[in-house]
Amino acid sequence: MNASPTYRSRLQVATLLMLATLLTACGINNIPTLDEQAKAAWGQVQNQYQRRADLIPNLVETVKGYAKHEEETLTAVIEARAKATSIQVDASTLDNPEKLKQYQQAQDQLSGALSRLMVVSERYPDLKANQNFLALQSQLEGTENRISVARRDFILAVQKYNTEIRTFPGRLWHSVMYSNLPVRETFEATPGSEKAPEVKF
């Protein structure tokens, strides 16, 4: 006895639904989901670095008004900012460990230059009392904290993603469906970075 066309189509739909449920439950979507989370976390890192770069011109101008003799330090900050903002990065940078390292080194150089600028400000009591400088100081401090949190979140997102594609069943799904998605690099500490830049106001 042959099954009717209606019965066959219902059976096919039921089979497809059951397969879809099984595939969803077994983690087939974990890899692209975690990849997107890592990219979003990277975007937040970039966002916070951009926020810092946007603060620097006003900070330099404020300090320049009080510390005209600190031309070398001010120039170092301006040059470090120019270098840091000249490196164009986006989500594809996550696939390029060398470019990621280059970007991080430029940001570290900017952190060092800013640290020296803040130490210089100690010599100028009038500058330290300036309301504009105090507001910029507060914003810079907040931004440095946000950078730290964004980098931590990015590191955790990359760790989850990398763990997923290296362990079962993610490793299986990676080899079958997502082999174009590479293991992601994360931030590496630069020498001396175990000590936070000493910023004194």
Q: Grade residue 37 by pLDDT with cuts at 50, 70 and 90.
A: very high
Q: What is the pLDDT of residue 200?
A: 44
How many structural domains are present in the chain? 1
Residue 186 located in a structural domain:
no
170-196: per-residue pLDDT in tens? 998 899 889 999 999 887 766 655 454
CATH of the domain at 83: 1.20.1440.20
Residue 5 located in a structural domain:
no
**Enclosing domain of residue 137:** 27-176
Residue 192 Ramachandran class (φ > 0 left, ψ -120 to 50 alpha, else beta): left
Q: From CA 66, how far away is CA 57, in angstroms rounded?
A: 15
Q: From CA 181, how far away is CA 200, in angstroms rounded?
A: 44
103-156: per-residue pLDDT in tens? 999 999 999 999 999 888 888 999 988 999 999 999 999 999 999 999 999 999
Q: What is the pTM of this model?
A: 0.80
- Check whether 23 has a pLDDT greater than 60: no
